[in-house]
Amino acid sequence: MTEPTNEIFQIIAKQNLPELELWLSKKPNLELKNKKGETPLMAATYLNQMPMVSLLIAAGANVNAQDNMLNSPFLYAGASGYLDIVKLCLKAGADYRVFNRYNGTALIPACEKGHVAVVEELLKDKTYPIDHINRLGWTALLEAVILGDGGPKQVKIIQLLVDAGANIAIKDKDGVTSLAHARNRNFKEIVNVLEKAASKK
């Protein structure tokens, strides 16, 4: 006999949609947590199980509930490039003041990892904290240059950030700007984008 708490997590692990629908029909507590601190929605998000995520959010699951790793469905979907889940989370009240374990937003890792579509989606909201600085002392722009590969996706993301009004003058903890980092890494196209932005200031 499994505990009721475990039942939902087994349903999600099996990716059994009919069973999830049945479970939801009983009006359960959607914010139950497993040993990892995951809610059912968080567990479904980790599996990128869009149909399950959609059902759980429609039922009222909290897109901002954090697990023991400080991931929330919104933060993890953003960092992983799960665009459809990001869109659902935004509609369901994603809270931009909930930060990951690096004290960062969903935008910062999305920029670093080259998730162009997610970055575009997040930047549609003019109130998004584009210049938030994480625990490492980096904004989304700084992290994209410092940890990125300088490839076409990264160039596109830097352009998106600049166009959205990212502050290119913000320096890291060592007093180095994103432009200086781009020059140091010989990211010529990114240097061009940032130099053009700087010249307009």
* Span 110-127, pLDDT tens digits: 999 999 999 999 999 999
pLDDT at 1: 32
Return the CATH class of domain 1-101: mainly alpha
Q: If you average pLDDT over residues 151-163, what whole number do you get? A: 97
At 197, the pLDDT band (50, 70, 90 cuts) reads: very high
* pLDDT band with cut points at 50, 70 and 90 for residue 200: confident
pLDDT score, position 11 = 97
Question: What proportion of the chain, given as a percentage, has pLDDT over 90?
Answer: 95
Task: Look at residue 3 in the predicted model and tell me its pLDDT.
Answer: 46
CA distance 18 to 64: 25
User: Which DSSP string corresponds to 101-116?
Assistant: TTS--SHHHHHHTT-H
Q: Could you tell me how far CA 129 lies from the centroid of its own chain?
A: 13
CATH top-level class of 114-201: mainly alpha
User: pLDDT, tens digit, for every residue of 16-27?
Assistant: 999 999 999 999
> Which whole number is the average pLDDT over 71-82?
98
pTM, rounded to two decimals: 0.95
Within this chain, domains 1-101 and 114-201 share the same CATH topology: yes
Encoded amino acid at 105, one letter: T
Tell me what pLDDT residue 4 has: 54
Where along the chain do its domains lie?
1-101, 114-201
